[in-house]
Amino acid sequence: MSSRMVGVVLLLAGSEVLGLALGEWYFGLFLKTVPPLAMSGFNSAAAHVAYLTYGALSGLAVFLWALLAVFLGRFFKGSADKPAAASKAAPAL
């Protein structure tokens, strides 16, 4: 397995962990805001699945944005051989 593929797999795993953590955090906020008497066990389980799905899709979106940034970054690299431009500072008085 090439180092590039290992990097892509690690990026996918990290973004999915981030997305699922986001979904769990939002579910925790949901449990804090909805009174327990207004929610059945089914509603709680369905909301948990919905928030985890949201988190997984958010992680996938983060992964795709990061891949897009890496891909487009190749086109915006500066040349290393160019000398730095001379600064035209005002002369000291």
Per-residue pLDDT of the chain in tens (93 residues, 90 and over written 9): 888 889 999 999 999 999 999 999 999 999 999 998 888 999 999 999 999 999 999 999 999 999 999 888 888 877 666 666 666 766 666
Judge if pTM exceeds 0.85.
Answer: no
In a domain, 88, yes or no: no
Q: What radius of gyration, in Å, describes the C-alpha atoms of the chain?
A: 23
**In which domain, by residue range, is 42 found?**
3-76
In a domain, 19, yes or no: yes
Count of structural domains within the chain: 1
End-to-end CA distance of the chain: 62
d(CA 48, CA 20): 11
In a domain, 48, yes or no: yes
In a domain, 81, yes or no: no
In a domain, 83, yes or no: no
In a domain, 33, yes or no: yes
In a domain, 59, yes or no: yes
